């Protein structure tokens, strides 16, 4: 999308940049031990609210330049709700797992809390591709998905070899979905910028 000015007067890329910057800052503070987990979750409200404003400004930009459709609006709502469920599910699962001694069956159940919204995101994406009538918008989404998949495959393969040769530590595989989504979003933005939208 273009970064057209919204009713708040700020280009949409500013909202996205602020969202990423605040989330990275909070993550850095958490990793360094400067803030505790409870404070981390409270502070994460800030990038979430910036994300809501980013979503609104992107939707306004898309509407203004004709790069929107009813299918995209349903997709955006579904992804926003699924993402919220993912973040809440992840926070709840980690908090419960860290605080209580759980049986294996309960650990399985709390593992579903962030996983089910991930399944919902995949369903929303598939539904969007099925429902989108505009061939150009559908093509852009398919290309963005392929770019996201390419980034995940390249990073996963490279990291796997580094791990095999004991150069880097093992990481949990749930990194795949956020990296894919971020790469897909960056590709969507790049395609819009390249085509002058």
Residue pLDDT, tens place only, 94-132: 889 888 999 999 999 999 999 999 999 999 999 999 999
Could you give the angle at which helices 70-99 and 104-131 cross, rounded to 10 degrees? 170
* Torsion 70-151-123-118 (CA) sign: negative
- Residue 3: is its pLDDT beyond 50? no
- Between residues 21 and 68, which one has the greater pLDDT? 21
Q: Is 161 exposed, middle or buried (0-12, 13-18, 19+ CB in 10 A)?
A: exposed
pLDDT of residue 197: 64
Strand partners, 5: 11
Strand partners, 11: 5
pTM across the whole model: 0.71
* 133-to-105, 137, 138, 142 alpha-carbon distances in Å: 44, 8, 8, 13
On whether the CB atoms of residues 78 and 120 are closer than 8 A, the answer is yes
Q: Per mean pLDDT, which of 47-51, 59-63, 76-80, 117-121 is the most reliable?
A: 117-121
pLDDT of residue 5: 45
Categorize the per-residue pLDDT at 159 as very low, low, confident or very high, splitting at 50, 70 and 90.
very high
């Amino acid at each position: 999308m273009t970064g057209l000015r919204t009713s708040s007067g700020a280009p949409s890329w500013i909202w996205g940049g602020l969202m990423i910057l605040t989330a990275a800052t909070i993550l850095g503070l958490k990793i360094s031990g400067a803030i505790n987990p409870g404070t981390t979750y409270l502070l994460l409200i800030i990038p979430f609210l910036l994300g809501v404003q980013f979503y609104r400004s992107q939707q306004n930009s898309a509407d203004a330049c004709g790069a929107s459709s009813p299918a995209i609006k349903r997709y955006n709502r579904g992804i926003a709700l699924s993402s919220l469920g993912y973040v809440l599910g992840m926070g709840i699962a980690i908090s419960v797992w860290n605080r209580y001694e759980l049986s294996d069956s309960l650990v399985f159940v709390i593992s579903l809390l962030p996983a089910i919204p991930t399944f919902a995101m995949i369903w929303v994406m598939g539904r969007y591709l099925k429902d989108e009538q505009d061939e150009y918008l559908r093509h852009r989404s398919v290309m963005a998905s392929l770019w996201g998949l390419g980034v995940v495959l390249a990073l996963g393969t490279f990291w796997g070899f580094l791990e095999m040769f004991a150069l880097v530590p093992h990481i949990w595989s749930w990194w795949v979905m956020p990296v894919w989504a971020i790469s897909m979003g960056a590709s969507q933005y790049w395609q819009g910028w390249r085509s002058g939208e």
